[in-house]
Every structure is written in structure tokens, then in C-alpha cells.
Amino acid sequence: MAAGGEFSGGAPIREDETSTSKYWGNEKDFMIPQPRLRHQDVIFTLFAMYARPPHSVLPVGALITLMGDLGFESQGVRSAVSRLKRKGILVSVRHGDHAAYSLDPSMANIMRDGDERIFSETRPDSGGKWVLATFSVPESQRSLRHQIRSALRRLGYGQAGQGLWIAPAANLHEAQISLERQELSQYVEFFIGNYAGHSDLSVKIGQWWDLEALNASFDEFLELYSGLSGRWREACDSVERPTPLREREAFQIYAPMLTVWRRMPYMVPPLPADAVPEDWNGPRVRAIFHESHQLLSGLAERYVEDTLVGYEPSTRTE
């Protein structure tokens, strides 16, 4: 979820699993950003946004159409859907005469928690509390240690010491859900408390996280989407465009942008504002996303709704 020329509505065929970071169109077009994304990440975004009540499924044909609008070929889409099904994220269903998929019911809590974190205009406040995580895995299952460490890193945890992980307390709930889903929760213990050390907290945070690397994770988003909302408004005001085409273009921008953004509120923890560098881009990136979200999400949703009309159970295709 143009100034001096036309919007670029065409999408290139992507032959690789990831796209290149570039723009569609030429110098006279409104150029639609094309971030580097995997099929399955975009598919997950589409199901999370458009396959929940009142629509609980996405027909395969509609999914291929929508992914085609984003430049993904059908064979890659089908392969990615199969992988998501094997992972227990999607389940196959019938939607009238159409083959379709829906999110596995086990994803419901993850979706609800994700909505709050991804679409909130402010960072969650931990109230000065921190969560510590430690785990113990039997030697016979030592391969699970890497899985747990990787899961904690993806959820924004820093390493406070040997076998000890730390994050703002607001990150606790998502970690519990994620580890339970991966059947790893029985190995991990969590504790919540205040920092009572003698060292300056900002110094310790710089040791627990690689703040330079975390800040650099915002770079692609800023490169692609900084100033986009202003360019979109200017383009819409300068040249009249048919509403269906404008909605399609909004979808082509919004779905990939959301896919890039939705990992950041997890991967980058809500660290205290006075403990991060002055050039920390977290608030700026969040503001850019929410301004673009307000501008584009409704138009993108209407385009998806129109696409789904042809796949209603009462509709028969030849």
C-alpha cells in the first residue's frame, strides 16, 4: 500500500530473485522507485495488507497480476508462494472457482502486533526499562544456538556480553512470539529491569549495538523515498491522470516501500533519543514513511480492490 511529462507505469521483467535498486522510466517520467526486494518479501506484504478481513484470501491469479505490476514474473511468484506455504505462513484454499491462498491462522497475533509497530507514528516507549535475554541449549542441539542468535538480532537485540542479549523492553513481546513460532522459546529466558551501571548509558549502547551500521540501514530508504511525497503531489497537480492509472502507480510505489520499511521497526530498536548519534536517521525515515503512507495507501488499496473484483466467487472466467 507528472511534472513536465508522464508517469512511468511500465514494469520491467525481473529475472533474478532480487531486483536492482533503480528507477523505472526516463528523465521525463515520474520515476517509481524500485528497491532491491525478494519475491517472497513482497508477497508477504501483499497478504498482510490485502488478505485480511474483509478479504481473507488472495486468488492466485490476482496475486500474479499484482506482482506483475511490480515487475515480478509469474514463475518466480509461484515458487515464492510455495516456499511461504512450506514455512507455514500461507495455506492454500478455494475461493469460488479460483485457487487462492490465505495467511495461516497462526499469523494472526503477529499481524496485529506488526500493525502497531509498523504503522505507529511514534516509537514505542520502554519507560527506561530494558529486557535481557539469555538462552541455554543442550549440546546435542547446538545448531539451535545460531538460530536463536539470528532471531534476536533480527528483532533488534544487541549483545551485552557472552550469551547475554539486550533490547528496550518494548521489544520483548515480539521476541516471545517469534521464538515461540520457531519452537525456540523453551530455550530462552527473559528478564526486565533498569540500567544501574556506573558507565554512561549512551557509551554502553554504543558497545551493545553497531550504531553506525544500524544508521546505514536507513540509507536505501532515504535514497529512494526522500522527497517522494512532494514529487507525487506536484505530479498529480501538474498533469491530469485517469484515476485508475494513478491508483495503479500509487500501488507500484506503496507496496515496495512498505516492504522495505516494515523490517526497520524490528531490526532497529527504539533506543533512547539522547543515546544515539546526532545524525541518527530513525525519526526522519519514520516521518517519510508515514507521510507517504497517508498519501498513497488509500489509492493503492482501491487499485487492489478493483483487481480483486474479477476474482469474486460469483465471477466465472473462461
Q: For 73-115, how does the pLDDT look when each residue is reduced to its tens digit (9 = 90+)?
A: 999 999 999 999 999 999 999 988 889 999 999 888 778 878 8
- Residue 314 inside a domain? The answer is no
262 in the same domain as 230? yes
Residue type, 62: A
pLDDT for 231: 87
Res 288 pLDDT > 90: yes
| End position of a domain, from candidates 142, 160, 194 | 194
pLDDT value of residue 178: 87
Instruction: Give the pLDDT confidence score for residue 243 in this predicted structure.
Output: 82
Q: Distance between CA atoms of 255 and 84, rounded to whole angstroms? A: 18
Q: Tell me the pLDDT band of 234, cut-offs 50, 70 and 90.
A: confident
169 with 223, same domain? no
Which of the listed residues 137, 165, 194 is the one where a domain comes to its end? Answer: 194
207 within some domain? no
**Do 225 and 100 fall within a single domain?**
yes
Q: Using the predicted structure, report yes or no on whether residue 235 has a pLDDT greater than 50.
A: yes
The CA distance from 60 to 62, in Å, is: 5
231/161 same-domain check = no
Q: Give me the chain's average pLDDT, please.
A: 86
Other Cβ atoms less than 10 A from the Cβ of 78: the count is 14
Residue 255 lies in a domain: yes
Domain annotation covers residue 114: no
Residues 185 and 231 in one domain: no
* One-letter-per-residue 3-state SS of 151-194: HHHHCCCEEEECCEEEEEHHHHHHHHHHHHHCCCHHHEEEEEEE
pLDDT over 70 at 9, yes or no: no
Residues 98 and 180 in one domain: no
pLDDT tens digits for 172-188?
988 998 899 889 999 99
Do 300 and 254 form a contact (C-beta atoms < 8 A)? yes
100 and 240 housed in the same domain:
yes
Q: How many domains does the chain contain in total?
A: 2
Give yes or no for a cis peptide into 269 (omega within 30° of 0). no
Task: Residue 160: name the closest of 127, 191, 137, 119 by CA.
Answer: 191
Going from the C-alpha of 317 to that of each of 65, 75, 95, 97, 314, the distances in angstroms are 15, 21, 13, 8, 10
C-alpha cell at 246: 494513478
Instruction: Let me know if residue 243 belongs to a domain.
Output: yes
Helix (H, G, I), strand (E, B) or coil at 59: strand
Domain boundary among 161, 194, 227: 194
Residues 280 and 247 in one domain: yes
| Alpha carbon distance 16, 39 (integer Å) | 9
Within this chain, do residues 35 and 93 fall inside the same structural domain, yes or no?
Answer: yes
Whole-angstrom CA distances from 242 to 208, 236, 237, 253, 297 are: 52, 10, 13, 17, 18
Does residue 60 form part of some domain?
yes
N residues, the chain: 318
Residue 124, domain member (yes or no): no
Residue 235 lies in a domain: yes
- Quote the domain boundaries for residue 136: 129-194
> Both 36 and 182 in a single domain?
no
**Which CATH number goes with the domain that contains 158?**
3.30.70.240
- 280 and 155 in a common domain: no
